[in-house]
Structure 1
Amino acid sequence: MRLVTYTLNGGGPRLGAQLGDRMVDLTALAAAAGSELPTDLLALIRSGRPAVDEVRSLLGRTESTPPGGAVHALADVRLCVPFRPGKIIGVGLNYVEHVAESHRTLDTERELPDRPVLFSKPATAVTGPGQPILHNAGLTKQLDWECELAVVIGRPAYRVAEEDAWEHVFGYSIVNDISARDQRRSGQWFFSKGQDSYAPFGPVVVTADEIADPHDLDLGLKVNGETKQNSNTRHMLFKIPRLIADISSGVTLEPGDVIATGSPSGVGAGMVPPQFLQPGDLVEATIQHIGTLANPVVDAR
């Protein structure tokens, strides 16, 4: 399923499922069937498998004759950020070629890391599709992009073994790991990567059953229509089960948490000469089977 949060005609956020060029309002669908569902995506994720199974059942029963008022044309709705994660855990240096370009341009280690490099983004950094990435020239002259596969956690995970990790994955989305390269502080990345709007997220959450192999997805990024990143998730250094096992060895992953699994090469800092985002730019991060997350860059002053 392709689960979203959307608005219609300026109304409040609604829980929906995208079916091709149609948007199904899941709350209205449940009401018409005499059923009840959580009214937002985070609550649905936290409700666990019974709620998700009910959504799947409702969609299956209404595929041919959906009730009136429960279906809208996709073109008539506005997609919002799917939900605000409890925590976002970023993974640095998780593609081999990005390790090389980071060493060359960002003074990181030359050697491949022997365990995942982790950092966090606060929930206040999250913004949705079509929403602005804030460029504050008083804080950065080096605003950069990173297209990343987002793993959405569906079940609590603590000290999870790699072989059991898949049981804790709800689905997948896109995170654009925006970074102010000149705001690293003594090697720490929090302020560089955690400012408001530095975690565009969306436009949909695709449930895990829809992605046959998350380690074989093309991903890339364009700025103003020009390709900057073009890779495949098969090039991850640490795969998803290893990331979940490593993080959960000391940090409880909760339903609705997001792991941003790292960026391929092609970031602005690695260009010759370096290229960085400016107000007026349009950034489009695309991952196969998920979609495109597009955000304009605006002057924050």
Structure 2
Amino acid sequence: MSLRFINYKTAQFPAGRIGLVNANGSKVTPLNYPTGRPAMDLKVLIRDWDMISTTLQPGQPELDIDTVEILAPVTGRDVLCVGKNYAEHAREFQKSGYDSSDVNEQPDFPVIFTKRATSIVGTGIEIFPHPNVTSKLDYEGELAVIIGKAGINIQKADAWQYVWGATILNDVTARERQRDHKQFYIGKSLDTFCPMGPYAVHASQLDWKSMELQTRVNGEIRQKQSTNDLIFDIPTLIETCSRGITLQPGDVLATGTPAGVGIGRSPPTFLQSGDVIEVEITGLGTLKNKIGDSSAAPPACRPLLADVPPTGLADTALRSFPSGVHLHVEVSNPDAEKTIIFVHGLGGALTNYAPIVEAADLLSSYKVVLFDFEGHGLSPASGSSTTVEVYAASIGEVLDSVGSKRAVIVGHSLGGLIATTFAATNPDRVEKLVLLGPVKKFAPAGVEALTKRAQTVRDGGMIAVADTVANAGVSAKTNSSRALAKAIVRTSLLTTPAEGYAQACLAAAAADDPDYSQITAPTLIFAGDEDKTCPKPTVDFLRDAIKNAKVVQLADVGHWHQVEDHETVARELKAFL
């Protein structure tokens, strides 16, 4: 398998997901963790590499690489960089008049500086020339090493054990800022000044002693040298950068640039708007970027997001999982032998199930596990997009965290599709399956409606849809005479985080049916006679598609079964169990 990874953007994953590029570079296949959760951050994948590398799963769909936007492979952290690390470049730099860092031509110790994380962009993204900051714009093609595991005070002899792989980096530089400020950070860190990519390639795929770097400007070769000609080799650089400083998985260390930069030419030649810079390194592909229009406004800077759940509230029930999600989980009667776990629906929360948990007296015989899936209730969203498969993987993670191998799975609405998806891929973990108004793959009209609703919520918040969804989602009797039930539904919708709701709408819109034939657990389907979201054709389809499935009809009930008629649901659930 070719271990060339890219971070790429699609309509469903606007913040990016990780995929593998095929041998000829024409296709990308998304990667999933063994749980089914998409790999969305290369730093996390690298951190867990030893545990998960042999169990990563190919996802769907495989796409033509020309149809996706390739992002920088690693983002969110400042980049460690090395100056004057090729002898000929050290000589040209010292003679250029732009070197204020040292009186010596060649350094006695590695020259280390950083580039701001906000300067990182991917291949194909324009480099903004910042005309109000610099008129001396230059390129520096570099081999960048990616650190694979944490370490401090690493010895040269052990350094290669800490290398995960490599990528290409263009250390774009404002030369007069580099010169005037003595240290390099200011001249190196302007927004868009760190193009990186296109691939991150695992070390096992690379011949470190036979890699040639070539930089071209508008097709003209400017730099060409073996990356084996470093003054300070990679083990020395890792030893130096880790002295008293802990290197982290996913850290990027740019190893320096060879001779041939613009200030080394006679006369010096600086980059101009429209120039195209290509940096190619053996085994790593070609990083290609164009200098943007100097008359344009600076591009919007992508914010750096902290690696913590986005909540300011203390929540002792918030659990962190290996996949990177943080879920609010509540467990009652934890010593019981049997487990029942509840999965709420779109715009729902774990509290939706409180009436039937009590009415069915479940605590007398079950470990009761309730959780808010990500972006709902008290569980923060883990990214900018998600999928039904991701939600389903959370069931397994939550069960593992409470020490339960098998459970009765109860799912409402979208939670029903999440439950069937989990049951189809993990039949041995499902003792029984209970579906309340479950949904299946949506028809085109449903996909369009969900997509529009997601945008409405993002534009106007939950208040923009809460009343419409609540009114349509319950029965005529609930609208007219079950005021408390109606209030519970409306409150559940209003208190759902808007972005989490929007992401769930899009996840539902993009979902496929699982292989229902793989579900082996006895299944009970609740059907409201006024349920527009789960109408009779959907109920009939699921009853026929799932072995051992039976249906309970609920009179005068819309889509919120457990709230509109909790007594009947509780009675039938208890009998089924």
Please give the TM-score of this superposition, normalised by the length of structure 2: 0.48
Change (3 A) 1:248 1:11: closer
1:223 aligns with 2:217: yes
Identify the residue that residue 159 of structure 2 maps to in structure 1: 165
Change (3 A) 1:49 1:85: farther
1:18 aligns with 2:13: no
> What letter is aligned with 2:127?
I
> By how many angstroms is 1:248 displaced?
0.3
Partner Cα distance (2:135, 2:218) in 1: 19
Change (3 A) 1:86 1:11: closer
> By how many angstroms is 1:186 displaced?
4.0
Identify the residue that residue 251 of structure 2 maps to in structure 1: 257
Matched residue count: 286
> By how many angstroms is 1:97 displaced?
0.3
Change (3 A) 1:85 1:154: farther
Contact 1:99 1:112 in 2 (8 A): yes
> What letter is aligned with 1:2?
R
When Rg is computed on C-alpha atoms for both structures, the one with the higher figure is 2
1:103 aligns with 2:94: yes
1:76 aligns with 2:81: no
Change (3 A) 1:5 1:186: closer
Partner Cα distance (1:274, 1:150) in 2: 26
Partner Cα distance (1:11, 1:257) in 2: 23
> What letter is aligned with 2:47?
R
Partner Cα distance (1:157, 1:109) in 2: 33
Greater share of helix residues, 1 or 2? 2
Partner Cα distance (2:216, 2:273) in 1: 15
CA shift digits 1:68-107 (9 cap, x unpaired): x332222332211112052311100000000110111024
> By how many angstroms is 1:126 displaced?
0.5
> What letter is aligned with 2:18?
L
Superposed counterparts of 1:56-67, under 5 Å: 58=57
Contact 2:76 2:118 in 1 (8 A): no
In structure 1, runs of 5+ residues without a counterpart are 60-66
Identify the residue that residue 202 of structure 2 maps to in structure 1: 207
Q: Which stretches of structure 1, 4 residues or more, deviate above 3 A after TM superposition?
A: 8-11, 33-38, 107-111
Identify the residue that residue 63 of structure 1 maps to in structure 2: none
> What letter is aligned with 2:203?
A
**Structure with greater contact order relative to length (CA < 8 Å, sep ≥ 6):** 1
Identify the residue that residue 120 of structure 1 maps to in structure 2: 114
Partner Cα distance (1:129, 1:100) in 2: 30
Structure 2 counterpart SS, 1:269: helix
> What letter is aligned with 1:207?
H
Contact 1:152 1:172 in 2 (8 A): yes
Partner Cα distance (2:89, 2:161) in 1: 29
> By how many angstroms is 1:34 displaced?
6.0
**Between 107-116 and 119-128, the greater mean CA deviation after superposition:** 107-116
1:291 aligns with 2:305: no
Partner Cα distance (2:172, 2:35) in 1: 43
Partner Cα distance (1:75, 1:196) in 2: 25
Identical pairs, percent: 36
Partner Cα distance (2:236, 2:76) in 1: 21
> What letter is aligned with 1:26?
L
CA shift digits 1:193-252 (9 cap, x unpaired): 01111111111100011112x243100111111111111111111110000001101321
Structure 2 counterpart SS, 1:206: strand
